[in-house]
Each structure stands twice: as C-alpha cells, then as structure tokens.
Amino acid sequence: MLADYGYIGLLLVVAIFFAVTTLLLPFFLSFPSRLVIYFRRFTQYLETHYPFLVRFIPPLPKFPRFMQVVPYNPNPVKSSTFECGMETIGTAWVRFNFRYYFYALVFIALDVLVVFLYPWAVELRGLGLFGLIAALVFIFIIVIGYIYAWRKKVLEWK
Amino acid sequence: MTMAALPPDWPGGFWLHWGVFVVVIFVFVMATIMGFIWFERRAMAIMQARLGPNRAGPFGVLQPVADGIKVMLKEDIVPAKGDKVVHWLAPVVAFVPALMIFAVVPFQGGAILADLNIGILYIVAISSVTTVGVFMAGWASNNKYSLLGAMRQVASVVSYEIPVVLSIVGVVLLAGSLSMQQIVMAQDIPFILLQPLGFLLFFIGALAEINRAPFDLMEADSEIVAGFHTEYSGMKFALFYLVEYGEALAISAIVTTLFLGGWRGPLLLPWLWFLIKVILVFFVIVWIRTTVPRIRIDQLMALAWKFLFPLALINLIITAVEILVWPAGSLWVLVPINIAVMIVLVLLWSRFFKLGWGKVEV
C-alpha cells in the first residue's frame, strides 16, 4: 500500500516538473528578444542619469532573426488589464459580494455529511439495519439545517 | 472476466512499474487531449453544418499540433498591475491535479499506476484542487471579469461538489469498495443500469464542475470576456486549455469506470473497450454542448441546491435500503425498479421549485 503512495508522490513530482518546464520553455525561447529590450532600457537609463558612461557600453551582438521568433515587446497599453477596450478603472481587488459565501457556508455543513458517509458506504453490508438507521438519523439532522437554509432563502440568488 | 484485478508483479519491481505507467499516463493524456480537441471542433462543426478545421493534415487532424506550435511562439503578456508570481503559478496549480487524477484510473485489469484502496476518494479530493488554480488565475489577473469568472467557478464547484460526491456514494454502496479496480470488478451489470439516477446526477454535476456547456457561464465569452483566463496568453493559456480538456477526459474516464463497467466488455481488448467508452462519453459531452443553451447563474445555483442535492440524498437512501433488503439475489431485479424510480423522481421533483424568472443581478 505504501508503494502506491510512492507512485503517486513521484507522479506529482513529474507532473510539476512537466508544467514548470512547459511554462519556462517560451521564456527561454524569447530570451534574445528580452535581452534586446532590457539592453535598450539599460542604455536609456544611463543616458538620462550618467550620460558619460554610455560610450563605454559594448554594443549588443546581433541575434539572427530565427532566434527572435518569440517576441517580447511590452508597452503600457498592452500590459494594462483588459476592460472592454476602455481604459482600466481602478483595481479588481475590492470587497466582493457576500452572496457567493452563503453557498460556501452551506457547503461546509453538507460536505462533512458526505465525508462521513464514505466509510459507512463501504461497510454497509456488514453493519446491516443498525448502520442504515444510524446514517438516516445523521442525514435527518443535516437535512433539518438544509431545509432551514431553503426556508430562509439562502439558496436563492438574490 | 479472466483478467486479474491486482497489478501483476513486474520483473523490475517498483521503478519499472512506475516508469512504464508514468509514460503510459503521459502518452494517454496528451494524445487523447489532442484527439479530443480535434474531435470536439470537428464534431461541433458537423453538427452545426460547418466544415471545421480541415487544412492541417488529413481532415485537419494535425490542427491541435499546429495550435500548440503557434501558442508556444506567442508573446507572454503579464498584466502590469497583477500579482506576477501568482499569475505564473496558477496554471501549474490548475494543471498538476488534472494530470494526477489518472494515477488511479484503471486502463485494464492490472494496468493502473496505483490501485489505492481509497481510489475514488482520492479523485474527489485531488480534482477539487484545480479550482484553487483557477481562482489564483482570476485573482492574480487583477481584472474584474477574471475575478467574477473565478468567483462563479468557485461557487459552482462548491455547489456541485455535493451532489457529485453523494451520487458516487451510491456506486460505493453497490461495489462495497472505494478502489477503482474493485468497482470495475463489481460491475457484472454496469452501474448505469443499477444507478440510473446516480449516473444522471453525477454527469450533470461533473459537467458543471469542469464548466462545460451548458454550465460554462464562468468562462462565457459574451458576458465576462473569457472569465479567469482573460489575461492569459501564450503557453500559460495553453496550459489552461489543456486543463479544460484534461478534466473532460478525466470525467469521461471516471464515468466509464464508475458507471459503464470500465475496461470490461466482450470480444475486444480491455484497454480498447476503455478507450471506446471514454470517447463515447466525450461525444455525449460535445453533443450536449451543441444542443443546450447556456444557463444563468441563478439557474445554475438553483439546479445544484434544489434539484440535484435532494435527489442525490434520496438516491443514496434508496440504494442503501435496496442493498439491505436484497443482499444476495440477482441484481437484475433492481434494474427496472431503479429506472422507474428515476423517472418518477425527476418528473416529480422538477415541479417543486421555480428556477426564478425576470431580472437577475450578477
């Protein structure tokens, strides 16, 4: 049994490695393009602050065209957040409607019910009628809360 | 069935078994996702009297490959006001669990990476983690539509989790085990016949959890641009795309294993049966997508809480009673009873509540 969890843990490592590599690949492919941009920013910075140093910077080697096939060319408009083509107003990190959290609260109550039903379901044949009655009492208690929530209109989208 | 339910002893032991099945899982997932992307576009096109992709390769089969190459050469745009670390991390957090599900999916007797004795519980647990990645994406983008889509996604997953998990309990009751292989071995009659209501609830809930149409309002293009992945481009977007189809594949595999008898079937090879059933389930998903219009958020919530959840509880209790009343006899007797119960319950329960009409705020 322990070996099975070993398999899963090692698969997790491979999956994370795969996802991270996939994300890093375009970064490395766009590295020449990035270098050009970074270099331009650096020279601009020097020109404004230390103009006498500019003549000492060696020029950037010319990259062949095929190495710059993945572009990197950000500008303020491109990297602003999208908002239907208008200028972005404010931030999205604001207080959110409470409506969504009602469902989360009901979910927490009912999810506990479900978790306890799993071991019960595996062993029901062994437990017999007593097991069924015990589970019914348990479900009954939760269902009272559920009906209360329904009557209080928690489940309505209002 | 003559196939053994337990993994055979590989000559190389632990590492050989692991290596072989990691390769099998990766090849299976990637190849099937590629196939599904092509299949969905092509099938939808045919259903809508269009041509669909037909340029790259014969019948456009290579379209997903072309898309993959294109997306890799795209510029990676990160919103300047967003949270860059979380923005980068979100696709990883969303993708890894979608792949991890396949660790316990049985491809045939003995062909499974890890036959956990809590297999289906493991799937329920790990498939919920994808939502965290989706919410990270929506939050880190600092985009109102992304956040709204992510919140909708979380709310819908939270709501549909309960009916889905409860309808799985019905299967567990019949099989008497949580292990995926044991569940397959228990299906002398496919559980879709013994649990028709459970299958219906599971399938609807699963569609909502992986936000396929008609429950795709968390990434509805026409109202909230594209939901959580509005600000994603290039390879990060491709990973979210993979997650979407990977989850559809996972749901097809789980439905196949739990309700359609898994790899069991006459004549053909077991893994071929598994593949055929997976493709069949995915075809039904595509079919539903082309047929049913998108529903509103209030309808989404009402369907989960007022329709699916009570029916799932009733289904669970009925199944438990049936098992205790009819422990040893032929289960074929239960098939017509359960189908009749399903029809009566669905017809009756749909009269109990209104889905809400008129103006609804989002």
Which residues of chain B neighbour A3 with C-beta distances below 8 Å? 14, 114
Cis upstream peptide for B214 (omega within 30°): yes
| B226-263 tens-digit pLDDT | 778 888 888 888 898 899 899 999 999 999 999 988 88
| A25-53 tens-digit pLDDT | 888 888 888 888 888 888 888 888 887 87
Query: How far is B263 from chain A, CA to nearest CA, in Å?
Result: 21
* Beta-carbon separation of A7 and B113 below 8 A: yes
Residue with tokens 């510029």: B75
pLDDT of residue B251: 92
Given B14, B25, B166, which is nearest A114 (Cβ)? B166
∠B298-B149-B206 over CA atoms, to 5°? Answer: 65
Asked if the model's pLDDT at residue B194 lies above 90, the reply is no
* Beta-carbon separation of A100 and B313 below 8 A: no
**B111 bridge partner residues:** B108
Which residues of chain A neighbour B167 with C-beta distances below 8 Å? none
Residue among B254, B250, B265, B251 nearest B109 (CA):
B265
* Beta-carbon separation of A155 and B80 below 8 A: no
Which residues of chain B neighbour A82 with C-beta distances below 8 Å? 143, 145, 225, 230-231
- A88 to chain B, any CB pair closer than 8 A? The answer is yes
Give phi and psi for B60, each to the nearest 5. 70, 25
Residue among B92, B99, B80, B196 nearest B137 (CA):
B92
Asked if the model's pLDDT at residue B329 lies above 80, the reply is no
Given A7, A26, A156, which is nearest B103 (Cβ)? A7
Instruction: Provide the token pair at B215.
Output: 């429950």
- A103 to chain B, any CB pair closer than 8 A? The answer is yes
- A110 to chain B, any CB pair closer than 8 A? The answer is yes
Is the ipTM higher than 0.85? The answer is no
| B278-303 tens-digit pLDDT | 999 999 999 998 998 888 888 888 88
Render each residue's pLDDT in chain A as its tens digit; 158 residues: 677 888 888 889 999 999 999 888 888 888 888 888 888 888 888 888 887 877 777 777 777 777 778 888 888 888 888 777 777 777 778 787 777 888 888 888 888 888 888 889 888 888 888 889 998 999 999 889 888 988 887 777 76
* Beta-carbon separation of B73 and A156 below 8 A: no
